[in-house]
Structure formats: C-alpha cells, structure tokens
Amino acid sequence: MKLRSQNLVSIDDLTTEEILTIIDRAKKMAPIARSGKVSTLLQGRILATLFYEPSTRTRLSFESAMARLGGTTISVADVSSSSVAKGETLADTIRTVENYCDIIVLRHPQEGAARWAAEVARVPIVNAGDGSGHHPTQTLLDLMTIQESQGRLNNLNVGMLGDLRFGRTVHSLAYAITRFNDRIYCIAPEGLELPQEIAADLKARGKQVIQTRDLLGILPQLDVLYVTRIQKERFPSPADYARVGGSYRVDLALLEHAKPTLDVLHPLPRVDEIAPEVDQTKHAKYFAQMFNGLLVRMAVLSMLLEA
Ligand code: NCD
C-alpha cells in the first residue's frame, strides 16, 4: 500500500487506516530484523539523514532499518561539519541533499522546519522531530507498543506525564491516541502544560483533555502512562529549568497504586523521571519501544519509497 501523502511530517498526514497498516507492516518486519539477513526490498535506494539536533535512537534506527532492507544511508549527524556551519539555509541544504538520495529524514530545532523542507524538496521528507513540534515516527512506535501490550488501541485511559509543553513526542501522541479514544489525561508541572492550541484542537475534535497535577489521584485508572523528560534545552534560562527540574519521578512506591497491567512508556532518553528499579517490572515498556522503532521505520521507509 502506498501512503496518500508523499511526506511524513505530522501524524495527521496519515489516515487512521494508514496508521494501522504501518503497524501491521512493522510487525511483519520483525523476522527480517531478527534474522540477521538483509532483504532486497530497498536495494539501490539511498536514505539521507540530516540531524541538526542530537539523536541516538531515531537516527540509528532509521539507518539500521535502511540497511536491513538492502538500502544505503548517507548522513550528516553533526551539522557543524557541513555547510550549515557556513550559513547555508535549510532550503539550500535540502535542494542539495535531494540530489544524492531518494528520501530525507530530518531533525531540526525549529518548529515547522520539516513542513518547510517538504515544500522545497522533490524527495519525501520524514520529520524526525522539529523543535517542540512533532515526531510522527516516534508516535507510530508508541502506538505499536501499546497495541502489542494492551491488545488494542481503543478503550484505553492514556496519561501523558511531564513536559507536555516543549515535548514533541507527546504532541504527536495526543493527536494519534485520541483517534482511538475520547479522552486523554495530561499531568504536567506548572508552566509545562499541553499547549493551549493543541488542547483546543483536540476539544474541537470532540475529545476530552483532562489536565491535572495529581498523578497519584488518577494513576489507578490509567492503562498507559507515557513519561517524558523535561526538555531542558528548550528553556529560556537555567533558572527556569531549575524551577521544574526533578519535579516528578516514577518509582516502585508510586507504581503500587497502578493497575497490574499498566504500561509505562518513555521515548527516551530519560534523566531522572523513571527510577532504574522500574526497568525490572512488567510495567516497563521503553525497551520494547526501541526495537519497535526499528520495525516501524522499516515499514515507513518501505511504504514511502514504494514505486
Ligand atoms: C525524543 C525527541 O527527540 O523528541 N527522543 C526520541 O526521539 N526518542 C524525546 C526527548 O528527547 O526527550
């Protein structure tokens, strides 16, 4: 199945049917990923990864996905080593890189950068994070992990905890999970609430956005707790960060109040918001997320590059 949109900039570029098809195809990628063999599906195709911000999982899983499918990758992992350091504009960089590849995965500190790149580029653009904007492939792997663990995507109480203001993963997830559910729980420190325009958008779609600071109070109802890091790099000053840094932490004592089937997800990297002892519990799903990230990216690359 070919995707309707040439690009994957936000989760709203995908229909719900396309989201489910990507997850399905991702599951079928598992044997290829595990076999150690290389498929020929994307033989001869070239991926360019262009990262203007740090990344471990996203970039390496895209590159690994391409390799597993028989394609190759060219990469600018550190823009200070490219002509960006000489002052080249994003548009000119995109117009250059598209000559050398069939698809571009872009991470950029500025919200809207991927949409802008998609308007300029002739090849498909995948948004791997645009500032505090969106991160759609993260959301696809989040949904896949939830579906695998809970057996469904609907009828779930999903809570998002942490920096809902600057965190792009939760922005994409909020739009996606409310395709399947009528409400979403938002638990954020003061000043880091879900942006007003996103909450309004969801409400206009008939969804309930339940905002609270009382994690303990709502935890017993939750099926999924999506924990995020405070996005320190997006704070105007260290003093602003100090006001909220370390203000929440998921640990064993807290999880005693949770359903036995609660899934704790985190896009990673974590700082101190999930205690390491949680890793050994059946709640911890952030390791499964990482492997699913590879599978989802194999699916996305194959579908966007389908002739
Ligand atoms: C996230 C990101 O870059 O938005 N990381 C990731 O891609 N898994 C989350 C974060 O940096 O906090």
Residue-wise pLDDT for 215-270, tens only, equals: 999 999 999 999 999 999 999 999 999 999 999 999 999 999 999 999 999 999 99
The mean predicted confidence, pLDDT, of the chain is: 96
In angstroms, rounded to a whole number, what is the distance separating the alpha carbons of residues 238 and 155? 40
Kindly list the structural domains of the chain, giving each domain's residue range(s) and its CATH number in brackets, ordered by start: 11-134+290-305 (3.40.50.1370), 136-289 (3.40.50.1370)
pLDDT digits (tens, 9 = 90+) for 166-182: 999 999 999 999 999 99
pLDDT digits (tens, 9 = 90+) for 126-135: 999 999 999 9
Collect all residues with Cβ–Cβ distance below 8 Å to 151 and sequence separation of at least 6: none
Ligand 1 midpoint to CA 12 (Å): 19
Q: Is the CB of 168 under 6 A from ligand 1?
A: yes
Other C-beta atoms lying within 10 Å of the C-beta of residue 62:
28
What pLDDT score was predicted for residue 307?
A: 66
What pLDDT score was predicted for residue 79?
A: 86
**Ligand 1, atom nearest to 267 Cα:** 8
**Ligand 1, atom nearest to 268 Cα:** 8
CA distances from 301 to 2, 137, 153, 207 (A): 11, 11, 23, 31
What pLDDT score was predicted for residue 2?
A: 85
pLDDT < 70: residue spans in the chain? 307
Q: Under a CB-based contact definition with an 8 Å cutoff, are residues 234 and 195 in contact? A: no
What pLDDT score was predicted for residue 80?
A: 84
Q: Is the CB of 267 under 6 A from ligand 1?
A: yes
Q: Is the CB of 129 under 6 A from ligand 1?
A: yes
Residue closest to 137 by CA, chosen among 262, 297, 284: 297
